[in-house]
Structure 1
Amino acid sequence: MNQTTNKIYTCIIVEDEPLSQEILESYLQDCPQLKLKAICNDALEANQILLKEAIDLLFLDINMPKMNGIEWLKSLDQSPKVIFTTAYPEYAVEGFDLNALDYLLKPFSFERFLRSVNKFLSLQEKVGEKQENQEETILVKSNKKTYLLKPSELNYIESDGDYLKLHRKDDCLVIHDTLKHFQTKLPSNDFMRIHRSFIINLGKIDYLEGNQVCIAKQMVPIANSYIDQLMQLIKK
């Protein structure tokens, strides 16, 4: 099973009808891979959310006050994936012209809603597979051998004098490099320096305990100056 299968995606409901809001919210409670970040009564309210944080999916009504959903979507330079929800079938063609994932005509059943969600999850899984296949490798020399190292293989990196220990699942490669220089080779969204001697793969964290983080059954120290930043990244 692809690792994207267990990923949690954020979504917001943009809908001005309280009953429709309640139905969508209740449906989402049975979709553990979707995390509802907000319920917005109009497009302008939703716009403020998108300015502050990244959202993966919109459940977007079309006929709303102030600005309808289609007009708002056209105004965005980059938009999340969109599933339209509306009582007006005449908007369907225009909605699909905007690359909407699906078009839910009210009232819709949970089965029909789930079909839309599964279409979104399937698309995200394919994107994840493509990104994995395109992952850039790093050339590292260790013990007279040259390795083609994928960053995703790393659990954490440990500084040891003039050398680095690259901790992977089943081994540890020792290379001649500095932590500061090696960090420039890593994808910044996936790795974080948490101590003068350690960089960790955020996706490998098992749990935090005090000023330590557990990765692959190893406790790695967190410097006080990095705790707040690490907690903010984890909450996202």
Structure 2
Amino acid sequence: MNRDTDKTYNCIIVEDEPLSQEILESYLQDCPQLKLKAICNDALEANQIFLKESVDLLFLDINMPKMNGIEWLKSLDQSPKVIFTTAYPEYAVEGFDLNALDYLLKPFSFERFLRSVNKFLSLQDKVDAKSENQEETILVKSNKKTYLLKPSELNYIESEGDYLKLQREDDCLVIHDTLKNFQTKLPPKEFLRIHRSFIINLSKIDFLEGNQVCIAKQMVPIANSYKDQLMQLIQK
């Protein structure tokens, strides 16, 4: 596969040991396709980065103060690809149950680190090629009908009890699902959760006014906890 060497992916290090931070940072200096956005000492610090930055890859320690890496990963609505870095092999099974890309057992060599990075890059090549060639459809059932829904058709998604309203240009499909689950089916760089009850299509934004965003003449609320991340994305 021909790899686009000009394309870069954002990553962060979540690690409480200074020596491990230094080793990972030095290894990343020899991986030009990965752009290190932050080094975080714990999961709570990393959580703040997620509100401001788009992150494609996590190098995540497990045994950390305040909250361990696995607990934090489970708390995310939608997580990026994850490479666990830990000194405790007993966590490996649980890590892979969370669809971790790889599991690096400390101390690990640059060669072993690079194998993990290449696994990530190969996977992204396939994802990027697929998204360029065609848009994936989502199978949804609404009002006794089955629809092949293209994500690009959506303006926003609203949660209401046990149901979701999928707002399109000319109609609204009502389906039985959760916002958290439906978000996993959407292209992460095109859709953003901006409220506990709303996910929006970033390309459909008309304007922002206060704590609201206008999409197709409809005003959608923005929760304060999501506003920094929204502003970061639309300014890129």
What TM-score, normalized to structure 1? Answer: 0.57
Counterpart position of 2:107: 107
2:12 pairs with 1:12: yes
Shift of 1:77: 0.8
CA distance in 1, matches of 2:46, 2:94: 21
CA distance in 2, matches of 1:132, 1:232: 23
2:60 pairs with 1:60: yes
2:79 pairs with 1:79: yes
2:140 pairs with 1:133: no
CA distance in 2, matches of 1:97, 1:120: 17
SS at match of 2:67: coil
Counterpart position of 2:89: 89
CA gap of 1:135–1:98, structure 2 versus 1, over 3 A, is closer
Q: How does 1:173-188 map to 2 (within 5 A)?
A: none
Shift of 1:232: 4.3
Shift of 1:188: 6.8
The aligned amino acid for 1:63 is: N
The aligned amino acid for 2:41 is: N
CA distance in 1, matches of 2:19, 2:92: 22
Once the two structures are superposed, residues 129-149 of structure 1 have per-residue CA deviations (whole angstroms, 9 ceiling, x without a partner) of 11111059xxxxxxxxxxxxx
Higher relative contact order (Cα pairs below 8 Å, separated by 6+ residues):
2
Report how many aligned residue pairs link the two structures.
143
Shift of 1:4: 4.0
CA distance in 2, matches of 1:97, 1:83: 13
CA distance in 2, matches of 1:37, 1:58: 10
Shift of 1:51: 1.1
Once the two structures are superposed, residues 12-63 of structure 1 have per-residue CA deviations (whole angstroms, 9 ceiling, x without a partner) of 0000000000000000000000000000000000000001121000000000
What TM-score, normalized to structure 2? Answer: 0.57
CA distance in 2, matches of 1:79, 1:62: 15
CA distance in 2, matches of 1:95, 1:73: 10
SS at match of 2:122: helix
CA distance in 2, matches of 1:13, 1:25: 8
